[in-house]
Amino acid sequence: MFKDTPVVREQIKKCVRCGKCRSVCPIFNEYRTENYSPRGQVFMVQMLRDGVLSVSNKVAAKLGDCLMCESCSSICPSAIPVPELVAEARAFITEQRPSTSKKLIFEKLWTSPGLLRNSVAAAGLADSLGLRSLARSLGLTSILPGDLPRAEKILGKIPRRSARSQLAAVMPARGTRKTRVAYFLGCGTDLLQPEIALATVEVLTHCGCEVIIPQDIRCCGVPHLANGAKTVAEKLVIHNLNILSKLGVDAIISDCASCTSTLNGHLYRPATVIDKLKNSSNSAPTLAEKTIEAANWLKGKVFDLTVFLVDELGLPTEIGRLMNSVVVTYHDPCHLVKAQKIKNQPRKILQSIPGVDFQEMVGADTCCGGSGTFGLTHYDLSMKILKRKIESIQNSGAEILATSCPSCTTQISYGLREAGLNIKVIHPVQLLQKALIQH
């Protein structure tokens, strides 16, 4: 029977069955059946807990269809964290039906930054040698499990060098130092979009920040949580909390919406980890005490990059005009606008740059269907959701699409390539960096 944790018990009681969540759910919008609505997900969690449902392929598949995009939670009158309930259920399913491949990916590969980096670098080398294209043409990718034979194309061209390999552990501020910050360099930015990390560091140092990149930081844990590896996610949370609290910095910055959501406790509450530590007889008291202290220290110190630049530092005044004026629109990542209510700051950055003609697009805050690994595991469903986003971008007349999430960047870039649209996807900080260079 499903473990009746306080999280599950308290949140299930809150659901008043109003169905308001269905109006904003991208998955329900495609299926139009109750089983796939957020309310339906809550019902399935309850039935698993009560033993009415047993773990089966069908139940696992339906609970696996949630994007964990926070759209439902952001509109729920009872503020039920549906993704958190779904994560509990997926963890239960993983316990009942362990997967060797998932264990390898999420317990071994994705918890070891060095191993993950080397694996992605090898994929980048294969790209540059044309081996991945050759494998596709020979049909070798068909041996990959599930949707991966088609979905691996979403990743696009993989960079040969990670961001970490191009950045020092400590980068001094330019001119007078105003503050000392830690840059939480997430997996997606580091391995798939290193140019965003380079722009982030350049802009922060330009604005008077000494930037520290913690060398032993690990993944924030969101991919693990989404794929049923909850225990691994907890270990990552504990590790990162204790590392970050020892850096002696004034703030922790990330350009990844999922990373800041996790560190701020929106997607995954560190308090649940701490409670488990306190109540575990197998946990050394010092570990629990250190983690509690670290979590308390972290409060109020984690910032999305755009928020830090706009609200904390203040945008630089010496911004140059772009050499060529450009029409730009913005896509709101779910883990930024839904989970953290951050909407205005990215737009303020774009609108502050001379030469940027900012155009708001219809449905800017609707999900793109990427959601970390979702596009790789649910290719067809992900593409249906993405198609709506691509149409909105095209109708905006934009030449550039800006967004603040590496997963969204990867997903939307793929959609634009497939649609034959010459629209570049970048982070707002990249345009700001370009304007500073022009000054």
Domain segments of the chain as ranges:
6-96, 315-438
Average confidence (pLDDT) over 200-216: 96
315-438 has which CATH code? 3.40.50
Give the pLDDT of residue 295.
75
Question: Considering the chain, what is the average pLDDT of its residues?
Answer: 85
The Cα diameter of the chain in Å comes to 65
88: left (phi over 0), alpha (psi -120 to 50) or beta: alpha
Is residue 269 within a helix (H) or strand (E), and if so which, with residue range? Answer: none
Give the pLDDT of residue 142.
43
User: Helical H runs in 332-400?
Assistant: 334-337, 344-351, 374-377, 379-396
Range from 70-79, 155-164, 196-205, 268-277 carrying the lowest mean pLDDT:
268-277
Residue 406 structure tokens? 């590496």
Give the pLDDT of residue 138.
38
Which has more pLDDT, 67 or 11? 67
Average confidence (pLDDT) over 366-383: 89
> Rg (Cα) of the chain, in Å, rounded?
21
Q: 386 falls in which pLDDT band (50, 70, 90)?
A: very high
Give the pLDDT of residue 130.
47
Nearest to 173 by CA among 200, 208, 199: 208
Give the pLDDT of residue 286.
65
Q: What percent of the chain has pLDDT over 90?
A: 47
Average confidence (pLDDT) over 205-216: 95
pLDDT tens digit sequence for 82-133: 888 888 889 889 998 888 888 888 888 888 888 887 777 766 655 554 434 5
pLDDT at 291 over 80: no
* Cα distance between residue 108 and residue 116, in whole Å: 9
Is residue 180 within a helix (H) or strand (E), and if so which, with residue range? Answer: strand 179-183
Q: Does 315-438 match 6-96 at the fold level?
A: no
Does CATH place domain 6-96 in 1.10.1060.10?
A: yes
List the 424-426 sheet strands across, edge first.
Answer: 356-358, 326-331, 400-403, 424-426
Give the pLDDT of residue 67.
92
Which residue type is seen at 346? P
Q: Give the CB-side neighbour count of residue 314, counting CA atoms within 13 A.
A: 6
pLDDT tens digit sequence for 135-179: 344 343 343 445 555 667 888 788 889 999 999 999 999 989 999
* Cα distance between residue 105 and residue 367, in whole Å: 26
Q: Are 357 and 328 in contact (CB under 8 A)?
A: yes
Give the pLDDT of residue 137.
44
Give the pLDDT of residue 273.
55
pLDDT tens digit sequence for 306-357: 999 999 999 988 888 888 899 999 999 999 999 999 999 999 999 999 999 9
- Residue with the two structure tokens 């951050």: 342
3-state secondary structure of 158: coil
Residue 395 structure tokens? 């109708």
